[in-house]
Amino acid sequence: MSSLKRLRPSKNIGPFSPRLIGLRILTYLGAGYIIKFMAEDNEFLTDVDFGQYRTLIYNESGIHFTSTNRSILESRLKERLREKGLDSPRSYYLLISKNSEELKDFLDSVTTNLTHFFRNDAHFKALENFVIPELLKIKQGTPNPTLKVWSAGCSTGEEPYSIAMLMSEILPPPGRFEIVASDISLKSLMEGRKGFYGDARIEGIPEGYLRKYCTRLEGGYQFKPEIMGKIRFDYHNLKHDSGQRNVDLVLCRNVIIYFDEVAQLEVIKRFWEVMAPKSFLFIGHSESLFGMDTKFEFVKTQWATFYRKYI
Ligand SMILES: C[S@@+](CC[C@H](N)C(=O)[O-])C[C@H]1O[C@@H](n2cnc3c(N)ncnc32)[C@H](O)[C@@H]1O
């Protein structure tokens, strides 16, 4: 055989030969399998695990984890595993399935607790100029003139302390009011209960209020007993009835944004049950009851919008 003949591509080994195409497909499938295998091996939370955790969190708290915030769940889970010395999401899932205290800690770890004093200034202006004067008119001459407020999802307490300062400032003496501040984050509640806020966190409190309602300590400010005595911090999951009744003002701001529509409606209906006739409901600036089957009426004032239970 001449050398020329040896170099001429044979019908069976050219770039489009069935043998080469077959080989390429095999290589491609093999590589794909190896990549998939490696990815699964490195995947911290499998789709099945994610589905299970998502259902558990939703059933226990109403908080809805979407695929977009899966990474948040993953990082919080990693922290819990490290703390507990466990090596897989599955083993931690087994633990929280049978240990209700650990389940509480886990739920605490997946909540978002961002808050600050006098958050959404417009709400506080509406409270001062419209809501509180209205409530005072209603309460006048009634056997129980105490204004009952519920800060639902109060996080570390900035919201209830802001209301307590405002009410102390504007209610005529003897200024009867009480605030229940509740959350599912025990860590946040404990911070709120202490009533001490570091220098970096007191932003938003007017200077005059700071001087009047707080004591300067090293590194921050401590609320005075007359303000702290107005607030009762309570562990409460909005998935359940709080047992309260005749509440005049409910603030549940920036909480239901983490729930899906079904859970939101359940919570709003529960508020209706605890609220007194003609009472007020404030939800977060970016939250709405629009399109929801509720009996609350929308109130628009020059300061802010909120909801009212007229009957
Ligand atoms: C972003 S913070 C809002 C704090 C405050 N209301 C504000 O607007 O600044 C949301 C809070 O809702 C709480 N939360 C979430 N789900 C809850 C539930 N099912 N029951 C009670 N509190 C819940 C979280 O623990 C968190 O502290």
Query: How many residues does the structure list for the chain?
Result: 311
Instruction: Tell me the H-state helices in 62-148.
Output: 70-84, 89-98, 100-110, 121-126, 132-139
Does ligand 1 come within 6 angstroms of the Cβ of 238? yes
Q: State pLDDT tens for residues 190-248.
A: 999 999 999 999 999 999 999 999 999 999 999 999 999 999 999 999 999 999 999 99
User: Which amino acid would we find at residue 232?
Assistant: R
Q: Bigger pLDDT: 39 or 189? A: 189
Closest Cα to atom 3 of ligand 1: 254
Share of the chain above pLDDT 90, in %: 81
The pLDDT confidence band at residue 14, using thresholds 50, 70 and 90, is low
Q: What is the pLDDT of residue 311?
A: 85
Q: State pLDDT tens for residues 24-64.
A: 655 555 555 444 444 444 589 999 999 999 999 999 999 99
What pTM did the predictor assign? 0.87
Does ligand 1 come within 6 angstroms of the Cβ of 63? yes
CA distance 185 to 194: 15
Does ligand 1 come within 6 angstroms of the Cβ of 153? yes
Q: What is the pLDDT of residue 88?
A: 95
Which of 106, 116, 150, 155 has the most ligand 1 atoms within 8 A of CB, as the residue to mutate? 155
Does ligand 1 come within 6 angstroms of the Cβ of 248? no
Q: State pLDDT tens for residues 106-129.
A: 999 999 999 999 999 999 999 999
Domain 121-309 CATH assignment equals 3.40.50.150 = yes
Angle value at C-alpha 269, between 116 and 265, nearest 5 degrees: 75
Q: Is the pLDDT of residue 253 over 60?
A: yes
Q: State pLDDT tens for residues 140-155.
A: 888 889 999 999 999 9
* Contact criterion met (CB below 8 Å) for 238 and 257: no
Closest Cα to atom 9 of ligand 1: 115
Determine the distance separating the centroid of ligand 1 and the alpha carbon of 25, expressed in angstroms: 53
Does ligand 1 come within 6 angstroms of the Cβ of 155? yes
Angle value at C-alpha 25, between 22 and 30, nearest 5 degrees: 125
Determine the distance separating the centroid of ligand 1 and the alpha carbon of 115, expressed in angstroms: 9
Alpha carbon distances (Å) from 25 to 15, 36, 38, 286: 13, 16, 20, 52
Q: What is the pLDDT of residue 141?
A: 86
Domain 47-110 CATH assignment equals 1.10.155.10 = yes
Which of 121, 161, 183, 270 has the most ligand 1 atoms within 8 A of CB, as the residue to mutate? 183
Mean pLDDT of the chain, nearest integer: 90
